Amino acid sequence: MSEAVVALAGNPNAGKTTIFNALTGARQKVGNWPGVTVEKKEGECRVGELLLRIVDLPGIYSLTPYSLEEVIARNFILENRPTVILNIVDASNLERNLYLTVQLMELGRPLVVALNMIDMAESRGLYVDHKVLSRLLGVPVIPTVGTKGLGIEEVGETLARVARGDLKAQPVHIYYGREIEEALSELLSALEGKNLFPGYPRRWLALKLLEADREVVSWVERQPGGEEVLALRERLAKNFARLFDETPEALIVEARYGFIAGLVREAVRVSAISRWTFSERLDDLLTHRILGFPIFIAFMYALFYLTFKLGAYPVAWLEHLLKLAEGLLRAHLPPGLLQEVLVEGVLGGVGGVLVYLPNILFLFLGISLFEDTGYLARAAFIMDRVMHSLGLHGKAFIPLLMGFGCNVPAILATRTLENPRERLLTILINPLMSCSARFPVYVLFAGTFFRGYETQVVFALYALGIVTAAFIARLLGRILVKEEDIPFVLELPPYRLPTLRGLFFHMWDKTRIYLRKMGGVILAASVLLWGLTAFPRVDHTPPPLEQSYIGQAGKLLEPLLHPLGFDWRMSVALISGFVAKEVVVSSLGVLYKAGEGAGKSLEEALRLSGLTPAAALAFMVFVLLYVPCVGTLAAIWKETGSLRYPLLNVLYQLLLAWTVAFIAYHLGLILLAA
Residue 380 burial (10 A CB sphere; 0-12, 13-18, 19+): buried
Distances (CA, A) of 630 to 100, 360, 409, 436, 649: 44, 21, 14, 15, 12
Range of 77-81, 370-374, 584-588 with top mean pLDDT: 77-81
pLDDT for 430: 92
Residue-level pLDDT at 445? 93
pLDDT band at 13 (very low <50, low <70, confident <90, very high): confident
Task: Give all strands of the β-sheet with 2-10 in edge-to-edge order.
Answer: 28-32, 39-47, 50-56, 2-10, 84-90, 111-116, 141-143
* Among 32-36, 169-173, 621-625, 670-674, the least confident range: 32-36
What is the distance between the alpha carbons of residues 470 and 476, in angstroms, rounded to a whole number? 10
CA distance 358 to 256: 36
**In this predicted structure, which of 482-491, 492-501, 533-542 has the lowest mean pLDDT?**
482-491
Phi, psi of 277 (to 5 degrees): -75, 155
Confidence at residue 491, expressed as pLDDT on a 0 to 100 scale: 55
Where does 2-164 sit in CATH, by number? 3.40.50.300
| pLDDT top residue among 613 and 409 | 613
Most confident segment among 82-91, 206-215, 555-564, 630-639: 82-91
What mean pLDDT comes out for the span 26-50? 74
Residues of the chain with CATH 1.10.287.1770: 178-273
Residue 37: which pLDDT band, with cuts at 50, 70 and 90? very low
Query: Is the model's pLDDT at 387 over the cut of 90?
Result: no
Identify the three-state secondary structure at position 388.
Answer: helix
Of 345, 317, 356, 525, nearest to 437 by C-alpha is: 356
- Tell me the pLDDT band of 359, cut-offs 50, 70 and 90: confident
Is the per-residue pLDDT at 502 higher than 80? no
Q: Which helix (H) or strand (E) holds 55?
A: strand 50-56
Top pLDDT among 44 and 348 is at 44
Q: Is residue 389 pLDDT above 60, yes or no?
A: no
* CATH of the domain spanning 178-273, picked from 3.40.50.2300, 3.40.50.150, 1.10.8.60, 1.10.287.1770: 1.10.287.1770
Segment among 196-205, 295-304, 472-481, 486-495 with least mean pLDDT: 486-495
When pLDDT is averaged across residues 236-248 and rounded to a whole number, the result is 87
> What average pLDDT does the chain have?
84
Say whether pLDDT at 497 is over 90.
no
- Residue percentage of the chain with pLDDT more than 90: 28
What integer is the mean pLDDT of 169-177?
86
In tens, the pLDDT along 96-148 reads 899 999 999 999 899 999 999 998 888 878 899 999 999 889 999 999 998 88
Split at pLDDT 50, 70, 90, the class of 5 is: very high
Give me the mean pLDDT over the 46-62 stretch. 89
Q: Per-residue pLDDT averaged across 576-597, rounded?
A: 76
Over range 262-276, report the average pLDDT: 73
Per-residue model confidence as pLDDT tens digits over 207-239:
999 999 888 888 888 888 888 989 999 999 998
Q: Give how far Cα 433 sits from Cα of 108, 159, 493, 643, Å.
A: 33, 43, 24, 21
Contact yes or no for 87/10 (Cβ under 8 A): yes
Contact (Cβ atoms closer than 8 angstroms) between residue 407 and residue 433: yes
Q: What is the pLDDT of residues 321-337, one digit of tens each?
A: 988 888 888 888 888 77
Q: Which comes out higher in pLDDT, residue 545 or 214? A: 214
User: Model's pTM, two decimal places?
Assistant: 0.67
Q: How many CB atoms lie within 10 A of CB 437?
A: 26
pLDDT band at 520 (very low <50, low <70, confident <90, very high): confident
Candidate from 85-94, 209-218, 301-310, 418-427 with smallest mean pLDDT: 418-427
Secondary structure letter of residue 348 according to DSSP: I
The answer to whether residue 415 scores a pLDDT higher than 70 is: no
Render 495-528 in DSSP notation, one character per residue.
Answer: P----HHHHHHHHHHHHHHHHHHIIIIIHHHHHH
Residues of the chain with CATH 3.40.50.300: 2-164
Section 358-364 average pLDDT: 86
Distance CA 662, CA 668 (A): 10
- Average pLDDT value for residue range 234-253: 88
Q: H-type helices in 333-453, by residue range? A: 337-340, 351-354, 357-373, 375-388, 397-402, 407-412, 420-429, 439-449
Residue 282 has pLDDT above 50, yes or no: yes
